[in-house]
Chain A
Amino acid sequence: MALWLARLALDRWRQAQGCARGEGSDAQPLALVTETAHGPRIDAANDAGAAGGAAPGMLLADARTLCPALQVVASDPAGDLAFLERLALWARRWGPWSAMDAPDGLLVDVTAVAHLFGGEEALLADVHRQLEARGLAVRAAIGPTAGSAWALARYGPPAAILSPGEDVIARLAALPVAALRLDDDVLLVLRRLGLKRLGDLAGIGEGTGGRDAVQRRFRNRRSPAANPLIRLDQIAGRVPEPLLPVIAVEPCLAERRLLEPIRHRPLLDQVLADLAGDMVRLLEARGEGARRLELGLWRVDGEVVVRRLELAAATRDVAHVCRLFATRLDDVDAGFGIELVRLLATWTEPLALAQADLDAAADAHGISLAACIDRLTVRLGAKALSRPVPRGSHKPERAQGWQAPLDPVRPSQEVFAFHSRPLKLLERSESIAVIYASPDGLPRRFSWRGQAREVARVEGPERISPEWWREKGGSRLRDYYRIEDASGCRYWIYREGIMGDARGGMPQWFLQGLFG
């Protein structure tokens, strides 16, 4: 059985607004748009918008000329996909397994299932009723193969049923070739060849040598979506078509319903330790470690307090988790007592079993790097810890990026040995006043932070041009000089621009880095 949620994006938007079709804010013309290189483009338009002239695929500027009152909302493809995934899980009510057919379809295996609903017509009626009750416009069809059901759901009559005895190709002959689930460029080729209906293509295959001709035309196309013959065979059931079913992964959850609501911290710590022990056993059984944990505390009066914890590396250490949560529980107000405590691992990663470290050994040998980073992150915040990584850029301040300390570092080119770079870079280049012999010559003296410094030794310039592919046309080149002043301090200064480059007035001088 194939389901086609033709207006999924709009239906989701309408659900978020809480209005029925054609009422409330849906009565105004509205379009969901995506930003593209050529300006916003319409993904979907509601009834009023479509009546005004907006059509999917149109540029927003074109649609506005037709319908000036058109309202615009950004579309949310990632949200739609997540919704479709949940819907696919829910759709297993009609069959043992279901698969997503992104962006807006579902496939459900209903082999030998229909009699449970009272026949295939009743099954389709149930599908329509259930989904329309949820505000989703749907077209459903049943066929002996996934391809035939897909074609009927999109291009066939409403609630079409193709029973296994019938000739699939004959029944689908009148549908357009787009029903074969082909890529756009293949559809264009077929249209130029004059093959408009599915029957035209199947008819060629029956003649002598006709199928060979089509085969030769598409001989390099291995992917089913690019080869109409493979698609045709899949529809007819001559070639298998594997589908990828969705499988729900239950998050690890441990909870304690407490007979007597607890109001004191030592008891809560005890419950937390028990929960962490349960969680560790659950995770161990699955060979996983927790990366993100959520502790929910349900109070007697219905208030819920949630504390989240992120770990730098997957862990199954009870003491570590308890210690990290202990600092987060100081400000919990127990009120009249907490009656339900629940620990949920919302993000887990594979973690092989390892020999548990004895507590004494950990004390003697110190803690591991991941545990150290967790401890620092809990107190200082996630942004405080970072690791410098090289990035591809000529601009010194852009050539270094910061990422989380334990993330893998991407391979990159080693720093050039002939580039001298300072040990430290100031957060922002500081403006300095420089005295020089000639405008393009070497600096002689400069003043920085209110103190004049005599230049004793200087090397330069090293010219770094602006990155024209990133910056505006008016940005100026930089000439860097390495300076050593009379007292031995070494600095990295630069002059932004040169005289007469027609990009501003006199060149400015800045101090950017300090050499060790």
Chain B
Amino acid sequence: MDLATLPTAARLLTLGQGAPRWRPGLPPAGPVHHEIFAPADEAGGAAFALALALDSLRAQAPGEEARRGVFLAERPLLWVQDAASIRKAGRPYAPGLPPAWRNRVIHVAVKDAADALFALEEGMRCRDLACVIGEICGNPRALDLTASRRLGLAAERHGVPLFLVRHDAARDISSARMRWQVRSAASPLPRWNAAAPRAGPGVGSWHAELFRARTHPPGEWTLHDDGQTLIAERPVAHATAPDHGAMAGAAGA
């Protein structure tokens, strides 16, 4: 590798400052290793991973494709789950998947984190996959800094993005390029008759905190996917009861 192409230390220090804030639809800097921390007893983490994957694919695809909702020749998606994730959070259910992913899932059920890491890395080396989604429960010993660095390198080398959902995990050391803390948020009220006393639940909506990213400053958003695009609203500062910063600190950042 040519040393001149490497960024200098000074540039690395100021990398996040001049960079734009993350927003939906922003073309990704490259295939990235995302890490999404989410509670295991809700499907918000996996749903957010799918929405994020779809958003980055839409941003990559040329204009015409994005407008018509055709993505990268319908390549399949590899979904790896370890046994604890399947037990706690269930298996993907095709009729409930977003329509863009519905017929494209290849599911891999593995017994522990070591096998899951192997499957994720092999999946990222495959050129025919649109992206790889992993679900790993807790903080297993096999998933250390070295393992996450391997995953990140494989994602960048072979051009397949990885979305690793960490169920009920503490924020340990990792080399993931973008790290999110996600929980479900109250779904948007129906557009018509919003004042109805007991309206049914709406489309999935998530509260996402980007707490570490290499190319973006951290931030918080409330996101939902309306079928065409991912839509973000910045949460009001004095909104919902649990203070998220305090909660994340308690989780052992």
Interface residues, chain A, CB within 8 Å of chain B?
A: 365-369, 371-373, 375-376, 379-380, 383-390, 396, 399-400, 402, 405, 409, 415, 419-427, 442, 448-449, 456-460, 482-484, 487-490, 513-516
Beta-carbon nearest neighbor of B103 in chain A = A409
A303 CB to closest chain B CB, in angstroms?
32
Contacts of B91 in A (CB 8 A): 424-425, 427
A385 CB to closest chain B CB, in angstroms?
5
Asked if A423 and B183 make an inter-chain contact with CB atoms under 8 angstroms apart, the answer reads: no
**Across chains A and B, which 10 residue pairs bring their CB atoms closest together, nearest first?**
A516-B47, A459-B200, A366-B127, A421-B96, A372-B126, A514-B43, A484-B201, A424-B90, A369-B128, A421-B95
Contacts of A402 in B (CB 8 A): 107
Q: A368-B128, A458-B200 are known contacts; what are 13 more A-B pairs with Cβ within 8 Å?
A: A366-B128, A367-B127, A368-B126, A369-B126, A372-B122, A379-B115, A380-B108, A415-B102, A421-B95, A457-B201, A484-B187, A490-B42, A490-B184
Contacts of A426 in B (CB 8 A): 90
Which size class do B's interface residues fall under?
A: 35 or more
Contact bitstring B71-108, A, C-beta under 8 A = 1, else 0? 00000100000000011011111111100001101111
A490 CB to closest chain B CB, in angstroms?
5
Contacts of A422 in B (CB 8 A): 43, 93, 96
Asked if A368 and B127 make an inter-chain contact with CB atoms under 8 angstroms apart, the answer reads: yes
Asked if B200 and A487 make an inter-chain contact with CB atoms under 8 angstroms apart, the answer reads: no
Asked if B185 and A488 make an inter-chain contact with CB atoms under 8 angstroms apart, the answer reads: yes
Contacts of A383 in B (CB 8 A): 109
C-alpha spacing A388/B108, complex, angstroms? 11
Asked if B108 and A490 make an inter-chain contact with CB atoms under 8 angstroms apart, the answer reads: no
Contacts of A424 in B (CB 8 A): 43, 46, 89-93, 96
Query: Can you list 21 A-B contacts (CB < 8 A)?
Result: A366-B126, A368-B127, A369-B76, A369-B128, A372-B125, A372-B126, A380-B118, A384-B108, A386-B107, A387-B105, A409-B103, A415-B102, A422-B96, A423-B47, A423-B97, A427-B90, A458-B198, A482-B200, A490-B201, A513-B93, A516-B48
User: Taking the complex as formed, is B57 at the interface, i.e. its CB lies under 8 A from any CB of chain A?
Assistant: no
Question: Total A-B pairs in contact (CB under 8 Å)?
Answer: 167
C-alpha spacing A389/B87, complex, angstroms? 21
Q: A409-B103, A514-B43 are in contact. Are A415 and B95 (CB under 8 A)?
A: yes
User: Taking the complex as formed, is B119 at the interface, i.e. its CB lies under 8 A from any CB of chain A?
Assistant: yes
Asked if B204 and A372 make an inter-chain contact with CB atoms under 8 angstroms apart, the answer reads: no
Beta-carbon nearest neighbor of B207 in chain A = A488
Beta-carbon nearest neighbor of A365 in chain B = B127
User: Taking the complex as formed, is B181 at the interface, i.e. its CB lies under 8 A from any CB of chain A?
Assistant: no
C-alpha spacing A100/B48, complex, angstroms? 60
User: Taking the complex as formed, is B199 at the interface, i.e. its CB lies under 8 A from any CB of chain A?
Assistant: yes
Asked if A488 and B183 make an inter-chain contact with CB atoms under 8 angstroms apart, the answer reads: yes
User: Taking the complex as formed, is B123 at the interface, i.e. its CB lies under 8 A from any CB of chain A?
Assistant: yes
In-complex Cβ contact of A514 among B87, B90, B105, B106 (8 A): B90
Asked if B125 and A366 make an inter-chain contact with CB atoms under 8 angstroms apart, the answer reads: yes
Asked if A488 and B126 make an inter-chain contact with CB atoms under 8 angstroms apart, the answer reads: no
Asked if B46 and A384 make an inter-chain contact with CB atoms under 8 angstroms apart, the answer reads: no
Contacts of A488 in B (CB 8 A): 183-187, 205, 207
B235 CB to closest chain A CB, in angstroms?
12
Pick from B76, B127, B158, B205 the residue with the most CB of A within 10 Å: B127
User: Taking the complex as formed, is B164 at the interface, i.e. its CB lies under 8 A from any CB of chain A?
Assistant: no
C-alpha spacing A460/B125, complex, angstroms? 44
User: Taking the complex as formed, is B61 at the interface, i.e. its CB lies under 8 A from any CB of chain A?
Assistant: no
User: Taking the complex as formed, is B153 at the interface, i.e. its CB lies under 8 A from any CB of chain A?
Assistant: no
Contact bitstring B143-159, A, C-beta under 8 A = 1, else 0? 00000000000000011
C-alpha spacing A40/B81, complex, angstroms? 45
Asked if B184 and A489 make an inter-chain contact with CB atoms under 8 angstroms apart, the answer reads: yes
B39 CB to closest chain A CB, in angstroms?
8
Contacts of A459 in B (CB 8 A): 200-201
Contact bitstring B174-216, A, C-beta under 8 A = 1, else 0? 0000000001111100000000001111001101000000000
Beta-carbon nearest neighbor of A453 in chain B = B41
User: Taking the complex as formed, is B59 at the interface, i.e. its CB lies under 8 A from any CB of chain A?
Assistant: no
Contact bitstring B16-37, A, C-beta under 8 A = 1, else 0? 0000000000000000000000
A440 CB to closest chain B CB, in angstroms?
16
User: Taking the complex as formed, is B53 at the interface, i.e. its CB lies under 8 A from any CB of chain A?
Assistant: no
Asked if A423 and B128 make an inter-chain contact with CB atoms under 8 angstroms apart, the answer reads: no
User: Taking the complex as formed, is B137 at the interface, i.e. its CB lies under 8 A from any CB of chain A?
Assistant: no
Contacts of B89 in A (CB 8 A): 424, 514
User: Taking the complex as formed, is B129 at the interface, i.e. its CB lies under 8 A from any CB of chain A?
Assistant: yes
Q: A366-B125, A387-B105 are in contact. Are A457 and B199 (CB under 8 A)?
A: yes
A261 CB to closest chain B CB, in angstroms?
35
User: Taking the complex as formed, is B170 at the interface, i.e. its CB lies under 8 A from any CB of chain A?
Assistant: no
User: Taking the complex as formed, is B44 at the interface, i.e. its CB lies under 8 A from any CB of chain A?
Assistant: yes
